[in-house]
Amino acid sequence: MTQRIKIPFVGPAYESKSKNVNAQRSVNLYLETGGFEGKSSIALYGTPGLELFATLGGDGVRGEYHPPSKNLFAVSGNTFYEVNRAGVVTERGTLNSSSGRVSMVDNGTQIMIVDGVDGYIYNLDTTAFVQITDSDFPGADTVTFVDGYFAVNKPDTGRWHVSALLDGLSWDATDFTTAESSPDELVAVLNIQGTVHAFGRYTTEIYYNSAAVFPFDRISGGIMKWGIEARFSLSEADNTAFWLGRNLSGGHVVLRKQGYDAIRVSDHAVEEAMDKMSTVSDAFSYSYTSRGHTFYVLTFPTGNQTWVLDITTGLWHERQSYKEGGSIRHRANAHFYFIDEHIVGDFESGKLYKMRDDVLTDDGDPIERIRRTQRVTDREKNIVYSRLEVDMETGVGLSTSSTDETEAFFADGSILADGSKLAGDDSVVGGEINPAAMLRWSDDGGHTWSNEKWRSMGKKGEYGKRVVWNRLGFGRDRIWELKITDPVKVVIIGAVADIEVMAA
């Protein structure tokens, strides 16, 4: 007898050690939960796209910084740039290095930049850019600012140093302290709520300004039994800090600071993904808030992956960008909020983008959105699927004349890495874009997949369009996968199926 059931179509990214246990993926889709009672209490929404804002020189944006009420500053290649509100770019200085991440902070007058070896000062009043030549400058991987002092870690030691008061050009060799709770290397320093957090490999110490000869002393009991695995994974968000941590028992755990302790916020799926990478020490992060969600974005350059924690829901999703030959980690290599926009820098070029929810491509490249569901099973009985309807926002097609970006997207004839079409030859009909959703399924835990089946999501204004597939075969243990690559708004609400359960 045929019955209609709900399919658990909406959820986070969670692929277990074995796909047979859980093979869920949410790529370029994030989950929103709660709110007033409506059609559904949960839905998947498309992640933001990238719109070109400015172009710097160099082969990748190494870092960005925005002092309050000033312009945006960025390092790309070996050059330090200033970018005004209109996107006009001015070269302001040259670094001795041309690759690797940089750390930047300001004291109101000076921006200090460190690249792991050298330090530089840019004067916001005079526009002078100079290298720090004081022989007592210890070198630095990271820099923070607290109570009038620049504070840096000295590479490959347990020390952190401070500058003269309000002057990053002046350093005294005696103005340092050593993290002593554990004899491990100090990796990064960060001002969190007015205290200096000195992150070591296995432990973290917390210091306050005591106005002593060296102005900072460790807070009594201010020791966390967690260190940091990747120095640039450290970001402030939600009035605290997040980072990729480790301790003497092991590593590859994403942590959130809570008082003088740290709590785990990664799940087994994220940790499994990290454990499969050859290295995670080059991971970096940034955080941002948009439409009521605060996101911690963690990218692994060697692993070529980007994982995102929605701090608001506590759930993870993946982000990818498209590149000829396949998907890659998300393009954003640095982030700062400027001109009421989230400005991110490209890891392969000097491009700066506005990262916006209403932008539907990555600077003209498609955004591939994938939802792979939980397993659907009924005590290992065969289930015949006669019909599947995915509930999503429809009628979202666009006119081909709506934007030059959209026209170029459909004109380039791009093909995805798996050989599938972006939207199909029939995606543009009579001047209207008719976007499509692709469905496939697996009956063996996600190891092999059916052929793709495409269905229209409705041309512009076809709000009552139903996205339905018929005659979908049978299986005892099925996983569904939906993929959308057209430049349209994507909202996935749920799914229902007409099935018949066969006798065992």
Q: What pLDDT is recorded for position 420?
A: 39
Domain 3-47+369-501 belongs to what topology? Jelly Rolls (2.60.120)
Spatial separation of the C-alpha atoms in residues 144 and 107, rounded to whole Å: 10
Q: Could you state, in chain order, the average pLDDT of each consecutive group of 10 residues for the chain (504 residues)?
A: 91 82 92 75 95 97 97 98 98 98 98 98 98 98 98 96 98 92 88 96 95 92 94 97 94 94 96 96 98 97 98 97 93 98 98 97 97 86 94 86 46 37 48 87 93 95 96 93 96 96 78
Q: What pLDDT is recorded for position 428?
A: 55
Domain 49-356 belongs in CATH node 2.130.10.10: yes
- Radius of gyration, CA atoms only, the chain: 25
What are the domain boundaries of the chain? 3-47+369-501, 49-356
Spatial separation of the C-alpha atoms in residues 299 and 289, rounded to whole Å: 17
> Cα torsion at 140, 143, 145, 150 (round to 10°)?
20
Cα–chain center distance at 374: 24
Spatial separation of the C-alpha atoms in residues 387 and 134, rounded to whole Å: 73
Q: What is the biggest distance separating any 2 CA atoms in the chain, rounded to whole angstroms? A: 84
Spatial separation of the C-alpha atoms in residues 319 and 368, rounded to whole Å: 9
Structure tokens at 57: 């020189």
Spatial separation of the C-alpha atoms in residues 63 and 110, rounded to whole Å: 17
Strands (E), 339-490: 341-346, 351-356, 369-372, 376-377, 383-392, 428-429, 432-433, 436-442, 453-456, 467-470, 474-475, 477-484
**SS3 category, 437:** strand
Spatial separation of the C-alpha atoms in residues 273 and 370, rounded to whole Å: 17
**SS3 category, 101:** coil
Spatial separation of the C-alpha atoms in residues 200 and 218, rounded to whole Å: 14
Q: What pLDDT is recorded for position 35?
A: 65
**SS3 category, 27:** strand
Structure tokens at 189: 């320093």
Listed in sequence order, the residues at least 6 apart from 297 whose beta carbon sits closer than 8 Å to its beta carbon are: 285, 286, 287, 288, 306, 308, 319, 330, 332, 335
How many C-alpha atoms does 495 have within 13 Å on its Cβ side? 28
Q: What pLDDT is recorded for position 304?
A: 98
Structure tokens at 38: 């409506």
**SS3 category, 272:** helix
Listed in sequence order, the residues at least 6 apart from 47 whose beta carbon sits closer than 8 Å to its beta carbon are: 28, 29, 30, 308, 317, 319, 367, 369
Cross-strand partners of 408: none
How many C-alpha atoms does 220 have within 13 Å on its Cβ side? 0
Q: What pLDDT is recorded for position 17?
A: 79
Cross-strand partners of 227: 246
Query: Could you give phi then psi for residue 271, rounded to 5 degrees?
Result: -65, -35
